Structure 1
């Protein structure tokens, strides 16, 4: 139950209100933005809530169960603060959202209505619609370990222990030529075996995509030239001479963990767990289905 400050309650009881919605959105990179559906800039808590984005809200869809409450916020892509490139680049994915009800005539009179996160973003030619999910969406996320044959650690994290800054697992290269929107040839990786960087990560160090990171789908060297294919095409086109840093990848199998990284002691999977084929086995006379230990 929310507690409304006496001054705001008096304003609500007056019968004639001057209320506006304000959103504070904090992206994963720590940058915070303020927006309002009022026609003037509102300021509180060190944030300027600007109206230029054209951000407007729908009704709040709420239920009494544990389903995720949601609200849609619509904004114009013409805003300098919300660009199509940033949306496509994932900068707004899962950003933290605070929704305030504010007396625009006196912003000190306000109440925090809800907290949530940016969910699905739908884009049109001139505008976007962002779904604002309530905190109950966290309940649907996987918590704890997964019992599976493959490793559930992220390569290079504390549970894995592999040092990806080791020169054996890291390389630098330069784009020679773009083959497709997400594939290109590169120089500087001639010393690495085929597939070494498959499932790894690539970070652009120069060019229009500088600072962005991408996942590597395939690594195929030929005559000292590496052909790299990314999982998704970058937001901005890949150009010749674009520089990057690339790190080795892992397919999460224990054989790869042993042969490529020598890190079986930290393997976080269960390679001997029975698979679905065990459930489908049946009695036969060939000697392999006698009910003995697998």
Structure 2
């Protein structure tokens, strides 16, 4: 493809969301069918310089483009529907797009910034495979539990702790529902089951007078059906007294903290 005297190359993007939904775009002036997915013509969608190396550093890059009501939308990006989506950038011969492709970069979608105005644009960070090398390979000592409620290390059963209910009241940064003890769901999560925001999830960071507060705003309406999951503040006393799960506590509550040397004894 690249060794021909005369090339007929088109740049293509493929985004695959975590729920399996996929979008394709191309810099060509007409849509291309590649591996069964139609890649829509988006000539204004351009990447930053693509740098490929054989070292261990993370080869990250950015992509910029115009938003389209029929494809990527500002509301979907800002709501987090595309967070962590798999992204692949490649070249094809636009005359025979299924004949083969030359992959330039791949990774996951990172931080997204959306512009203002009717013709809004966006920039998105593409995190290459090397970005995983920046993650810590071992756990650090901590007084709080490092497991998540209900996971394989915690082992607390979530049966009966993930009720489905209708919202009694809703505001952009908080919601209230009847029939539950709201305090039990602080540090838990909320999954929207119907309406225009179906599929979106928010962390419930705190409880305030019966209201559950979001970590990020989410526009919901009273009567929306949601599933909420109980939370845990990750303290040993909570694990022992509320869940009876002290044997599986994944923290070190007795290890002295950094303030040990500043303590005074009278």
TM-score (norm 1): 0.80
Q: Secondary structure at the match of 2:211?
A: strand
Inter-partner Cα distance in structure 2 for 1:230 and 1:70: 30
- How far did residue 218 of structure 1 move? 2.4
Deviation string, structure 1 residues 113-165 (Cα, Å, up to 9, x no partner): 22222122111121111122221111112333332111111111111111112
For 1:273-288, what aligned pairs fall within 5 Å after superposition? 273-280=255-262, 286=266
**Structure 2 residue 158 is the aligned partner of structure 1 residue 175:** no
Structure 1 match to 2:245: 263
Contact 2:10–2:94 (CA under 8 A) maintained in structure 1: yes
For 1:106-117, what aligned pairs fall within 5 Å after superposition? 106-107=96-97, 108-117=99-108
The 1:105–1:207 alpha-carbon spacing in structure 2 relative to 1, beyond 3 Å, is closer
Deviation string, structure 1 residues 27-71 (Cα, Å, up to 9, x no partner): 111222221111112223222222148422232256776443233
Structure 1 match to 2:68: 78
Q: Secondary structure at the match of 1:207?
A: coil
Structure 1 match to 2:134: 140
The 1:10–1:204 alpha-carbon spacing in structure 2 relative to 1, beyond 3 Å, is closer
**Structure 2 residue 213 is the aligned partner of structure 1 residue 229:** yes
1:150 to 144, 160, 182: 144
- How far did residue 183 of structure 1 move? 2.1
The 1:199–1:10 alpha-carbon spacing in structure 2 relative to 1, beyond 3 Å, is closer
Q: Secondary structure at the match of 2:127?
A: strand
Name whichever of 273-282 and 96-105 sits farther off.
273-282
Contact 2:184–2:230 (CA under 8 A) maintained in structure 1: yes
Matched pairs, number = 262
Inter-partner Cα distance in structure 1 for 2:177 and 2:147: 29
The 1:207–1:19 alpha-carbon spacing in structure 2 relative to 1, beyond 3 Å, is closer
- How far did residue 253 of structure 1 move? 0.7
1:184 to 169, 172, 175: 175
- For structure 1, list consecutive stretches of 5 or more residues without a partner in the other structure: 1-7, 287-294
Name whichever of 43-52 and 18-27 sits farther off.
43-52
Q: Which of structures 1 and 2 has the bigger CA Rg?
A: 1
- For structure 2, list consecutive stretches of 5 or more residues without a partner in the other structure: none
- How far did residue 94 of structure 1 move? 2.1
TM-score (norm 2): 0.88
The 1:94–1:211 alpha-carbon spacing in structure 2 relative to 1, beyond 3 Å, is closer
Contact 1:52–1:79 (CA under 8 A) maintained in structure 2: no
Inter-partner Cα distance in structure 2 for 1:255 and 1:115: 44
- How far did residue 86 of structure 1 move? 1.4
Contact 1:176–1:187 (CA under 8 A) maintained in structure 2: yes
Structure 1 match to 2:231: 249
The 1:70–1:79 alpha-carbon spacing in structure 2 relative to 1, beyond 3 Å, is farther
Structure 2 match to 1:120: 111
